[in-house]
Structure 1
């Protein structure tokens, strides 16, 4: 899971670098395109005609809904990455377990308990300290709210993925439909906002964007298959740690102590929420 965390943190560096010339929708398009190409290459290498025919599956509607929510989550996350310090945007996105702590009990037709509310309250206090709305410019505050929206959408996307898993849908099919829907959605949005032709020196970065995202997904999938779910989910927050380190090294980012305290509080609340979510799912 540490490998996945590092891949996702490095991907965030690439997104922020390319965000000077590309919109978040365009970056989602290139990231999704690489994912689709990777899936097609794997299926072609297998030479398995049945695998090709089974791409459609029996739950297309649910796959499409998951793809749309996932696309929106990714686009809002990339928008936050472009307009906020990288470590701030990543921390906001990784607040999704806080929303899951509230949503999961409702999915199981239960009311959230006191501990769920406490975890969410602690997480939101961390977010407030991180964003410092009393000092942030309006543009920064709006980008922060978009980053928080990405966490909400990511929580809903997780619920869809969990439902697909319960229905017996294979992971590769879920990834395929997500990449397909995200690519179509981002292409449509980019057609409205305008495309930017990549320069030659930007092509390696675009390839790195797709490669790091795909490697991160593969490493994360392997970690969840072989390790304890709660432990793996907790180590997923290593992305926040790596992002903080890279923010300092690459962008020379400086934040006040209160922001670092807010980041730590958000991560701690997120790990607590992961534990609560695991108990709710049992």
Structure 2
């Protein structure tokens, strides 16, 4: 019989596969449907599915404090901005390269938490963050002619998602995760509808219709499985399995788009993942020290 940690790890890896599948389908849809219409259709599917789940769970009955309303609104705006920059990069970059850049998120969130939320970060994690950023530079290679506007879009997406995660940390625990996710889906749908007004309408057909449904279901499934993963297993154990998304991106990128990163990109991606795993490890050590009581004069790290 599987342990809770083992089940949590499986849920996390399956959730990352679902997210990557959703991204891959969006990349496929970008070849036939205008971007904003694709966002609107997917947003509609996500909003309906999550809305039904949230309604059954009673999430809409929770009254938010004024502070939480502002935080959720800011988080939603940050997430909407990240979606636009993500899709701009996704449509023009190999999906594995983009996914590798996004693997830097644990590093940027850790740095952001230290700078803006005053969370303790020692020199070891700061050194790991620096090495992780070196890995990002190896992926985008600004000095080797491989850096373009779409790589910049990927980095801006990382900045928006980092802001989103920092705001999430400030939201009260009483606010249901389903309610936050539903607000995000609704905002993205409205953003897509607004942008679609400037596009020529293209009706989904027998191919794009099922693909739109697939990406909607996949992104909701990914979210739900990621939430179940952290609730099933220990956070410090299951969270590193988020990096399995890079493996899925390599596989789907090769199978669907005949994309395969060059050795330098793979080395940079490996460096990002390694430093991210080290950061998770140091965070666990820090929490244990803080729980036991950190010796005077030492900065946990």
Q: Which moved more, 1:271-280 or 1:69-78?
A: 271-280
Give the C-alpha shift of residue 26 in structure 1. 3.6
Residue 249 of structure 2 is aligned with which of 243, 249, 252? 243
- More helix by proportion, 1 or 2? 1
Deviation at 1:4, TM superposition (A): 0.4
Structure-to-structure mapping, 1:116-127, within 5 angstroms: 116-127=125-136
Partner of 2:95: 86
Quick one: which of 29, 36, 41 aligns to 1:30? 41
Normalising by the residue count of structure 2, what TM-score does the alignment of the two structures yield?
A: 0.82
- RMSD over equivalenced CA pairs, Å: 2.4
Is the CA contact (8 Å cut-off) linking 1:25 and 1:75 kept in structure 2? no
- Residues 1:72 and 2:78 are matched in the alignment: no
Partner of 1:262: 268
Residue 191 of structure 1 and its aligned partner are, at CA, apart by 2.7
Residue of structure 2 in register with 1:102 after alignment: 111
C-alpha distance in structure 1 between counterparts of 2:32 and 2:231, whole Å: 38
* CA distance in structure 1 between the partners assigned to 2:47 and 2:273 by the alignment: 32
Matched, 1:222 2:228: yes
Question: Out of 136, 146, 151, which is 2:153 matched to?
Answer: 146
SS, match of residue 97 in structure 1: helix
Match status 1:113 vs 2:119:
no
Looking at structure 1, the residues matched to 201 and 168 of structure 2 have their Cα atoms a distance apart, in angstroms, of: 31
How far, CA to CA, are the matches of 2:23 and 2:182 in structure 1? 22
Q: Any idea what the Cα deviations from partners look like across 1:41-71, whole Å, max 9, x if unmatched?
A: 3356x4x8x65444x6333222111111011
The question of whether the paired residues in 2 share the 8 Å contact of 1:126 and 1:262 is answered with yes
Q: Is the 8 A contact 2:135 2:268 kept in 1?
A: yes
d(CA) in 1 for partners of 2:222 and 2:159?
21
Distance 2:35 2:273 in 1: 25
The answer as to whether partners of 2:97 and 2:261 remain within 8 angstroms in 1 is: no
Aligned with residue 70 of structure 2, among 49, 61, 70: 61
Structure 1 residue aligned with 2:277: 271
Query: 1:155 aligns to what?
Result: 162
Alignment of 1:8 with 2:23, yes or no, is no
User: How far off is 1:199 after superposition?
Assistant: 3.0
Q: Check whether the contact 1:85–1:247 (CA below 8 A) recurs between aligned residues.
A: yes
Give the superposition deviation at 1:179.
1.4
Gaps of 5+ in 1: none
Instruction: Tell me the equivalent position of 2:31.
Output: 20
> What stretches of structure 2 of length at least 5 have no aligned partner?
1-11, 291-301
Deviations along 1:170-229, one digit per CA (max 9) or x if unpaired, are 111111211122222232233345554323321011111101000000100100111111
Secondary structure class of the residue paired with 1:198: coil
Determine which structure has more spread, i.e. the larger CA radius of gyration.
Answer: 2
* Total equivalences in the alignment: 275
Q: CA deviation at 1:117?
A: 2.7
State the alpha-carbon separation in 2 of the partners of residues 276 and 42 from structure 1: 36
